[in-house]
Amino acid sequence: MHVDIADFTVLATALGVIVREMGRNMERTARGPLYSFGHDFATSLVTKDGELLALGEYIPVLCGATPFAARAVAGFFQGDVHEGDVYLVNDPFSMDAGNQLADWCIVCPAFYHGKHVMWLANKAHQQDTGGGLPGGYNPGALDIWAEGLRIPPLRLMDRGRWCSDALDLVLANVRNPELQRGDLLSMIGAARTGERRLQSLYAAHGAHTLELFQADLLEYGEQRMRQEVAGLPDGTYHGELSGGRGSALIACDLIVAGEELTVDLSGSGGQVPLYINSPIANTTSCVHMALLTAIGRHIEYRSGGCFRPVSIVTRPGTIVHAAAPATQGNCTNFCAKQIIEVVWDALAKAAPHLAPAGWGSINYWVFSGHDPRRNTGYSSPDFQACSSGAGAVWGVDGWSANGPSICSGTLHYPEVEVAETLYPIVWERWQYATDSGGPGRWRGGLGVDNIWVADSGSEPVYLAYAAEPYGYPVAPAVAGGSLPKSNTKTLCFSDGTFENEREARAKLFYKLRSGDRVLDYTQGGAGVGDPLERDRRAVVDDVRDELVSLESARDAYGVVIAPLTLKIDEEATAALRAMRRRGRGGSRRGWSQPASVNSTVVTEGGKGLRLTFGEVGTA
């Protein structure tokens, strides 16, 4: 280490404070609810050479894509970068700069005493991106041009002066230009705040110390990740996910060799017609997030150094490495979720105590239209329907109504009363859905029942189907845990007719009128461990809180509870659990007590590897 440990700790903490302050700046100054309520953005500091130094994990899946934007800007404007410049980029297929068109990235150089020392990159979801539908999600798009405006690296400010022609061109291609002008200013203002804080840090500690510290921070991340990888047994571990008709296989071989880790996604299938194809920036970010939330969860200062021991293998033209002009407008939700979870699925075969169980799939629409109350347009995802449950982790139940795995608990939901002032919609129900969490020794978090009705006067409410379109299952259910029930959608129209999930997935688009009702069931997360080993008292608590029904307590957990007193029938419970274990050929207690655990893997010699875990306690 080139700087002493005290300086290292102070500076690492300071960078974290800077990126969080940048995020708070966006939250407080943005015009649109995507930032102020949803926090649908990420802030970051990137080295001059394009490695991630610090990340504001507002939406974690965006963080790993910001270095791609910074590297694209640096490469495109090589030798022509000046103090006061501001750049904008979103195109996934221009120098691999973007993860999806809806996520615009502001990139600014940070200077100190006339020298370029770092990049600041803010990536944020936009209210609109042009294209065929409001809101940036177009499930009917045939190619990327139908999804929105493609922005290769573009200079918005030159030495502190606006490039008005470039800005006007961008804003002329979105439906709410004044709103998005305000959001862009919010992003730029956040970067300017970060630059001022960096300059203060350089003034206090000196440019030489900060240069040495950057190297130390990246080295720290690398060595910590190497330690975590070294704790895994060597071998090749396979995970895969298949959806319904028309989907593509998403496959992962996780190859552990000492301190090196290879994530091989090259066995995945080709690009699909609907808009979930993942550009390489998005895929890379998903893999990094999957690892940081599993084996890297105890790394205190996260940076690009964490990914130096990790190699990612893909094939261009596949669902996990999309090539132009593939549609990709929903890829940061799907197949981002599937990429994260297929890595977890493979990891669960190597170290089930480290792999999170799969999270529920968000079951949302994008609604848009004209609000007659305010005489203004609107477009937004239905964030309330994004309240899926988190998967359990070893030793802990999943969080309920926690949002998609790509957010890892960071997504904020608008208060229902606030949402009703923003959109001509009235919510009738938004509550935990009983029995929606996957059973396990540690239960998956619960999803929600989300019911709302259009209240738009004579104006229509336009809906675009934005839930996962191919029916990929939740994965993994770890160490004998169970998967949650599938999502459902129902539309009940004011004329008495209705349409179900299958019809909605086929139709994709709707034009609602006042009185039309939308009913979404958003699933919970998967469980970890054998449900028959769940603490009986925890099952009773879940029944008392209406998280689990009396029937599921008996059928899934083998716990017989008296309906009126909520007392456990100990004799009946013991007999039922014993019968269930005999019926499936014995207990699965090997997952949760000292025992040998068979995990089928492939090693260099092609032999099976037998893993043994230590005492972790029993229910």
Tokens of 519: 């009913």
Indicate if the pLDDT at residue 604 is higher than 80. no
Tokens of 443: 């239960």
3-state secondary structure of 364: coil
Alpha-carbon separation of residue 582 from 587, 605, 618, 619 (angstroms) = 7, 36, 19, 19
3-state secondary structure of 289: helix
Tokens of 184: 């862009």
Q: In the prediction, which pLDDT does 411 show? A: 87
Q: Which of 235, 240, 188 is CA-nearest to residue 84?
A: 188
Q: In the prediction, which pLDDT does 584 show? A: 84
User: pLDDT tens digit string along 277-325?
Assistant: 999 999 999 999 999 999 999 999 999 999 999 999 999 999 999 999 9
Reported confidence tier of residue 36, pLDDT bands at 50, 70, 90: confident
CB 254 within 8 A of CB 261: yes
Provide mean pLDDT across the span 372-383: 92
User: pLDDT tens digit string along 138-170?
Assistant: 999 999 999 999 999 999 999 999 999 999 999
3-state secondary structure of 287: helix
Q: In the prediction, which pLDDT does 386 show? A: 95
List, in order, residues 6 or more apart from 231 with CB less than 8 Å away. Answer: 295, 351
Rg (CA), the chain: 25
Residues 338 and 344: their CA atoms lie apart, in Å, by 10
Indicate if the pLDDT at residue 385 is higher than 60. yes
User: pLDDT tens digit string along 288-301?
Assistant: 999 999 999 999 99
Residues 229 and 220: their CA atoms lie apart, in Å, by 14
Residues 162 and 84: their CA atoms lie apart, in Å, by 10
Q: Which of 484, 468, 471 is CA-nearest to residue 392?
A: 484
Q: Which residues sit opposite 518 in a β-bridge? A: 452, 491
The secondary structure of residue 388, as a DSSP letter, is P
User: pLDDT tens digit string along 483-512?
Assistant: 999 999 999 999 999 999 999 999 999 999
At 336, the amino acid letter reads: A
Helix (H) or strand (E) holding 551: helix 550-555
The secondary structure of residue 252, as a DSSP letter, is E
User: pLDDT tens digit string along 83-94?
Assistant: 999 999 999 999
List, in order, residues 6 or more apart from 84 with CB less than 8 Å away. Answer: 157, 158, 159, 160, 161
Indicate if the pLDDT at residue 370 is higher than 50. yes
**Residue whose structure tokens are 């840090």:** 201
Q: In the prediction, which pLDDT does 590 show? A: 35
Indicate if the pLDDT at residue 597 is higher than 90. no
Reported confidence tier of residue 57, pLDDT bands at 50, 70, 90: confident
- Which strands, in side-by-side order, build the sheet including 461-465? 376-381, 365-371, 461-465, 509-512
Helix (H) or strand (E) holding 575: helix 570-583
Indicate if the pLDDT at residue 586 is higher than 90. no
Q: In the prediction, which pLDDT does 601 show? A: 33
Q: What is the largest CA-CA distance in the chain?
A: 78
Q: How many CB atoms lie within 10 A of CB 377?
A: 15
User: Would you give the end-to-end CA distance of the chain in angstroms?
Assistant: 45
pLDDT > 90 in the chain, percent: 90
Helix (H) or strand (E) holding 226: helix 207-230
User: pLDDT tens digit string along 447-485?
Assistant: 999 999 999 999 999 999 999 999 999 999 999 999 999
Provide mean pLDDT across the span 437-449: 98
Burial of 614 (0-12, 13-18, 19+ CB in 10 A): exposed
Provide mean pLDDT across the span 261-276: 98
Tokens of 243: 């959806």
CB 563 within 8 A of CB 543: no
